[in-house]
Amino acid sequence: MNIESKNGTVVLRRTKEQAPPRSWRDYVIGRPLATADAPHQTISKKIGLAVFASDALSSTAYATQEMMAILAAAGTLAFGYVFPLSLVIAGLLFIVTLSYEQTIHAYPNGGGSYIVSRDNLGALPAKVAAAAILTDYILTVAVSISSGVAQVVSAFPNVFEYRVYLAIGLVLLIMVINLRGMRESGMIFAIPTYFFVVILYINVIAGLARYFLGPMGIGISSLGMVFNPPPLELATEQVAGVGLFLLLRAFSSGSAALTGVEAISDGIPAFQEPRSRNAGITLIWMSAILGTLLLGISFLAAHISAIPSAEETVISQLARTTFDGRGFMYIATIAATTVILVMAANTSFADFPRLSAITANDGLLPRQLTYRGSRLVFSRGIVALAFLASLLIFVFQASVTRLIPLYAIGVFMSFTLSQSGMARRWWKIGKLKPGEEIQEAASRLHYEPTWKTKMLINGFGAICTAFVMVIFAVTKFTTGAWVVIIIIPSLVLLFSLINRHYRELAKRLSLEHFGVPPLVHRSRVILPIGGVHRGTLAAVRYARTLSADVTAVHVSTDPEETRRIQEKWEVWGEGIRLVIIESSYRRFMEPLLMYIDEIYQKRQPNEVITIVVPQFVPRKSWTNLLHTNTAGALRKMLMFRKGIVITNVPYLVEE
């Protein structure tokens, strides 16, 4: 123990070091970790890539196919546009990556779109960014788990009936693994992520080798066409030729590949020191993998004449063409794709709790979300995410088709806000003199000579992503994007209400401009009694230590019992005044409350009324059912009155 004495106040410090006792939770999520262990819980670049990239990388499993599905409206010849469009998307990815690279270095404590918007654009854009990205994290879990389950269902059709349970079961499994802590869950999830990356590279490299080099490296392609491709489904509306609108729609569908790129910027604090550097390098690796895989798959898909179809994925067609049939590599490719789709959910589990803790700390969400659980993760956020995603899965019956239109708008909205915020930040930096520094909430501004270039990069990124967002909103409005138009403003409203509550509360509780509070001059004690027994006497004894002015009150519903109580009181009541209230309608609570109200109305300023309630505490909890919980009911009724204090004196707790 450590004793300090400052300004006349004695302060004792003591530390409770011992770990909490063992419990069943230890087996599920591991032993509790001390706060001091926090630095050891950060993750390396390798694990960071697995944790934060699984969402982005999983999109390579479907981005090409989504573009082709749109282009199919203009016939198979239009598939020739897939590779050029992929080049444009890769360009967009390059710009967004550059842009986020700058963000990561500017916000070493985490620079998600919420923080960047808050520091540079103001409260409302920040709330919009938070609403957009939180919604998107929930949707990511629901969509990716549902699509993973859909893959399982196409392999085992019997499972269809149980798909909702299976999906919710997977959500809960990922929840439990994440509750074990960032580091452990990262290690668990790293294996399937790297497996996916390796398998897809083998696919692309083998395909390209066969195409360009041929079997013996003699430059004659040995990669043929897809054997027996699925039939081309007729699009609902056929178009005559490839127009600009069709290309834009295909482009916007393909840009879904960019969802998940922002994940690392939200998760910087999870990385080992030097955080920004490690996170930045991880981002570059992620984008490089994402870009090359996308380009490779799109190139090959067009050249083998793959057909977008609900019956067989483009990845499947590519794998069986590259590896000549459904052999080991084909099976590995399909398995890796299924697993990565389920695991994309994990990125949300890494980021959603962190972002909700940040917004909760700013007073936009309940403060409880800032609490770090026994394994140093924001366990309440993890549980909340699992609950909300499970709810979505249940409501939409794990249907990817019904969930997907809600998805991705939020991501591009937050991209735009984040990059606009960064552009504004460079603008502010450009106005500083060399050597001048400003400390903002989450970053430090100091003059940089290259601010103009950097502003241009972020500004251009913002324009591009805003453009994609508009295309998304227009082309998908009727199929479900309108839901987002309702959800995001509702969330913003909720944030504002919560924030107003916390701010008003803080103002009301603030000690600034607060005079010395008035002393309590007088104290009255009211002691409701239901009988005269040892428990009552304990309460009487206690009540007498509080004040000389004690009144016992008995509400009478049975004259016979009241007579007995009165007789006993005359013996045991220590001369304390007893008020008997006869209740004509056999009510107990109302007459007592009316009496307390009367006393309360007549009280003097600075008088406190204490209600001392003898509370029966059973030794066995089932016996609670055999007693009326008057103490609890009284507390609820009286809590809303200022100047009334409720005291419970427990009885019958002898060992």
Positions in 314-373 near a copy of itself (CB under 8 A): 366-368, 371-373
Backbone angles phi, psi at 528, to 5 degrees: -70, 130
For residue 652, state whether it binds a copy of itself (rule: CB under 8 A): yes
Q: Which of 473, 578, 599, 637 binds a copy of itself (CB under 8 A)?
A: 578
Q: Which of 216, 514, 560, 604 binds a copy of itself (CB under 8 A)?
A: 514
Which residue in this structure is represented by tokens 């790297």? Answer: 194
Positions in 88-117 near a copy of itself (CB under 8 A): none
Instruction: Mark 276-305 with x for binding to a copy of itself (rule: CB under 8 A) and - for no binding.
Output: ------------------------------
DSSP state of 77: G
Q: Which of 234, 586, 601, 604 binds a copy of itself (CB under 8 A)?
A: 586
Q: Which of 470, 544, 549, 599 binds a copy of itself (CB under 8 A)?
A: 544
Contact in structure between 293 and 207 (CB atoms under 8 Å): no
Stretch that binds a copy of itself, among 46-54, 192-200, 469-477, 517-525 (CB under 8 A): 517-525
CB 225 → a copy of itself: shortest distance, Å? 58
CB 374 → a copy of itself: shortest distance, Å? 7
For residue 28, state whether it binds a copy of itself (rule: CB under 8 A): no
Query: 15 or 604: whose CB is closer to a copy of itself?
Result: 15
Positions in 366-425 near a copy of itself (CB under 8 A): 366-368, 371-374
Choose among 61, 350, 48: nearest CA to 197. 61
Q: Specify the pairing of strand 607-616 against strand 644-651.
A: parallel
CB 563 → a copy of itself: shortest distance, Å? 11
Which residue in this structure is represented by tokens 């994309």? Answer: 344
Positions in 481-500 near a copy of itself (CB under 8 A): 498
Query: 474 or 599: whose CB is closer to a copy of itself?
Result: 599
Query: 127 or 320: whose CB is closer to a copy of itself?
Result: 127
CB 602 → a copy of itself: shortest distance, Å? 14
CA end-to-end span of the chain: 32
Stretch that binds a copy of itself, among 32-40, 86-94, 339-347, 391-399 (CB under 8 A): 32-40
Angle between helices 314-322 and 182-212 (to 10 degrees): 60
Positions in 587-626 near a copy of itself (CB under 8 A): 587, 590-591, 594, 608, 610, 615, 617, 620, 623, 625-626
Contact in structure between 130 and 404 (CB atoms under 8 Å): no
Return the SS3 of 528: strand
For residue 503, state whether it binds a copy of itself (rule: CB under 8 A): no
Q: Which of 208, 232, 473, 537 binds a copy of itself (CB under 8 A)?
A: 537
CB 608 → a copy of itself: shortest distance, Å? 6
For residue 523, state whether it binds a copy of itself (rule: CB under 8 A): yes
Q: Specify the pairing of strand 444-446 against strand 437-439.
A: antiparallel
Positions in 72-91 near a copy of itself (CB under 8 A): none
Q: Which of 585, 602, 604, 605 binds a copy of itself (CB under 8 A)?
A: 585
Question: How far apart (Å, rounded) are the C-alpha atoms in residues 280 and 237?
Answer: 44
Q: Which of 233, 311, 582, 597 binds a copy of itself (CB under 8 A)?
A: 582
Instruction: Mark 222-261 with x for binding to a copy of itself (rule: CB under 8 A) and - for no binding.
Output: ----------------------------------------
For residue 570, state whether it binds a copy of itself (rule: CB under 8 A): yes
Return the SS3 of 647: strand
Residues in the interface with a copy of itself (CB under 8 A) total: 103
The 10 Å Cβ neighbour count of residue 548 is 8
CB 492 → a copy of itself: shortest distance, Å? 17
Q: Which two tokens stand for residue 450?
A: 């290259």
Which residue in this structure is represented by tokens 């409203």? Answer: 493
Query: 218 or 625: whose CB is closer to a copy of itself?
Result: 625
Which residue in this structure is represented by tokens 């609950």? Answer: 387
Positions in 4-23 near a copy of itself (CB under 8 A): 6-17, 19-20
Question: How far apart (Å, rounded) are the C-alpha atoms in residues 167 and 142?
Answer: 8
Query: 292 or 499: whose CB is closer to a copy of itself?
Result: 499
Q: Which two tokens stand for residue 396?
A: 């939409």
Choose among 459, 441, 439, 363: nearest CA to 127. 363
Question: How far apart (Å, rounded) are the C-alpha atoms in residues 319 and 515?
Answer: 77
Question: How far apart (Å, rounded) are the C-alpha atoms in residues 88 and 96?
Answer: 12
The 10 Å Cβ neighbour count of residue 575 is 8
Query: 328 or 640: whose CB is closer to a copy of itself?
Result: 640
Return the SS3 of 645: strand
Query: 178 or 419: whose CB is closer to a copy of itself?
Result: 178
Which residue in this structure is represented by tokens 């050597």? Answer: 435
Task: Give how far the C-alpha of residue 516 lies from the chain's centroid of Cα atoms, to the nearest Å.
Answer: 42
Stretch that binds a copy of itself, among 235-243, 266-274, 407-415, 573-581 (CB under 8 A): 573-581
Choose among 300, 227, 239, 225: nearest CA to 70. 239
Query: 528 or 573: whose CB is closer to a copy of itself?
Result: 573
**Amino acid, res. 274:** P
For residue 579, state whether it binds a copy of itself (rule: CB under 8 A): yes
Contact in structure between 556 and 562 (CB atoms under 8 Å): yes
**3-state secondary structure string across 158-191:** HHHHHHHHHHHHHHHHHHHHHHCCHHHHHHHHHH
Positions in 621-650 near a copy of itself (CB under 8 A): 623, 625-628, 635, 639-642, 644-650
The residues, ordered by sequence, that sit 6+ positions from 412 with a Cβ below 8 Å of its Cβ are 255, 258, 465, 466, 468, 469, 472
Contact in structure between 206 and 184 (CB atoms under 8 Å): no
The 10 Å Cβ neighbour count of residue 641 is 15
CB 638 → a copy of itself: shortest distance, Å? 8
Query: 173 or 497: whose CB is closer to a copy of itself?
Result: 497
Which residue in this structure is represented by tokens 């504002």? Answer: 496
For residue 40, state whether it binds a copy of itself (rule: CB under 8 A): no
CB 544 → a copy of itself: shortest distance, Å? 8
Query: 368 or 450: whose CB is closer to a copy of itself?
Result: 368
Contact in structure between 631 and 535 (CB atoms under 8 Å): no
Buried residues in 361-393 as b, exposed as e (16+ CB within 10 A): ebbbbeeebbebbbbbbbbbbbbbbbebbbebb
Q: Which of 511, 548, 601, 604 binds a copy of itself (CB under 8 A)?
A: 511
Q: Which of 160, 470, 542, 549 binds a copy of itself (CB under 8 A)?
A: 542
Query: 250 or 552: whose CB is closer to a copy of itself?
Result: 552
